[in-house]
Structure 1
Amino acid sequence: MTIADLHPQLPSAHEIGDAWSRQVARRRIYTIFGLIVLLAAFISSVQFANESNAGHFFERLPHLFDFLSWLIPKNWGDVWRALFDLPSPNDPGTGGEEYNFALGRHYIWGGFYIPEYFELMLITFNVALVSTIIGFIFAVPLSFIASRNLTPSKPLRIVVKRFMEILRAFPEIVIAGLFAAIISIGPVSAIIAVGLHSIGALGKLFYETVENVDMKADEGVKSVGASWSERVRFAALPQVLPNFMSYALLRVEINVRASTIIGAVGGGGIGEELKLSISRGFGAKTLALILLLFITILAVDQFSAWLRRRLVGDHAFLLQH
């Protein structure tokens, strides 16, 4: 007796091969159709751009990267001099700002000073850090209220979830512009904007984490008469806190970039100076600012990765066999 006799409903190898060939052909057709749609959308958008620019879109297209000509400095040493506010041999001495790097020094005591761009980067990082702390403080309780396994009231969960969706629906730059009109431009409006957006973003990540916790500990504390806050404190929070901290550290990296963008529209920090350098055509200063921003984001990323490993544990980063 063969397997085919025991299971006559099983398809043969030939039928399986035909089904696989049909599936591959179907996927290939879908891929070709998708590429045709993307190509048509690209051609339509280019034609629209050309008509919107009175036919000068294709004419000006070769000049797309002309800014690289002024971005390359005459002396690459000026990039480091601009970064540390050192005198430049290219400074004509007329009081201009392009090569008068020492003009931006912030003296602390005697001849000791902090380079201008380091101070601006510190402001941007502080905005990102304070915003993340604000987002973390408010997102933690909201996430427990929004979770299905801890909050039985469906209307309350819906209200909290919709509230967090509204907070993260608007880009930080829009919220910053609103508060800049209400209070004033500067780091305060940037902190409020990034902080509100962080509440919504972290809240979603947090309540999804809470909904995946092991409920055995919750059943244990609930059986001895624990209140809702005690269930959260002693059963759920110890399980999710390492992941909460991991998400918060990741949010710091995102908020550093967001704070830089907001700074370009009046939020203070390094973003505002970067915008001015680009608009004035200061190549050495622009490259110095980009270099400092890149190093800062890289340092924050590496430190966050190290700290996440310490909090969550190396086992969470190992491949499961």
Structure 2
Amino acid sequence: MSLVLVTGGSGFIGGHCALQALAAGHSVRATLRNPARGEAVRGQLARAGAQGLDRLSFAAADLERDAGWPEAVAGCDFVLHVASPFPFSVPKHEDDLIRPARDGALRVLSAARAAGVKRVVLTSSFAAVGYGHPEQAAPFDETSWTNLKGEGLTAYVKSKTIAERAAWDFVAREGGPELAVVNPVGVFGPALGPDTSTSIMIVQRMLNGAMPGLPHLRFGVVDVRDVADLHLSAMTDARAKGERFLAVAGDFLTLADMARILKTRLGDKAKRATTRELPDWLVRLVSLADSSVQQIVPELGKVKNATADKAKRLLGWSPRSREDALVATAESLIKLGLVKS
């Protein structure tokens, strides 16, 4: 089997990609900014039932530095470039997100090209697809790109769009390696450890009663296990070369929809989750004093959808339901002791 480099091996999506690559029989080398975290990551994967941990190794590399990337990609057949910053709070300067996302993608691609890597699968986002546009009835698909001249774009949305554009431009200019891109919506599903993603924190805050009211926002939902599965298909299937794939399981949900699902499926375990929606005017008022709320204001009340028909048609992808993804998130948080009893 192949040697696969997974960047951001300690992250939510990266950890699940490593799990599935090992289960498929590949050897996995995972990059970490801090190599001292290697044993903790190995332990998390072991507790998640990882197979073939003797085929797992680590390499030290940072998206903001050149050092380490030639060694990380050496001998690899494929690269899953998952690592990218996604903070819960607003960065002081948008370049704090844009620069590492864009430059990190280019560092990985450049090192992969020099090492003769066959294909790189880049984890992009719906953020690079469906923002900066007027509202539309039709679901977004892979032909759409976020309009960087649109109003109210967050630093994260800009970072994902700019990084993906830079990756496609690099491959077109340099002639390789092969590139495929996965564009997930909000990624939920089983957390592997306490260092959770921003999406997972939404469910955690709901269950802990830390959201006394819910802004009127819509999110796409997809399970992290299905995102990892789509990465592996995009890595090995010849039809994925040069293609983008949206990863979404069904229509978008409001935060209140998500809370109702948790309360219906989990009963008393979700007793602290509210389904009360806040009026848009109140959220706008709060945003004047809270920069983290400020970034959601442009999306209040907007109706959006996206389709995964391309991934289903070309790669035979079949994701879990939105409901199962959300419940798996909650159950993992409870098991990890990250929800108030």
- With structure 1 as the length reference, what TM-score do the two structures score? 0.24
- With structure 2 as the length reference, what TM-score do the two structures score? 0.23
**Structure ranking higher in helix proportion:** 1
Please say which structure displays the higher CA radius of gyration.
Answer: 1
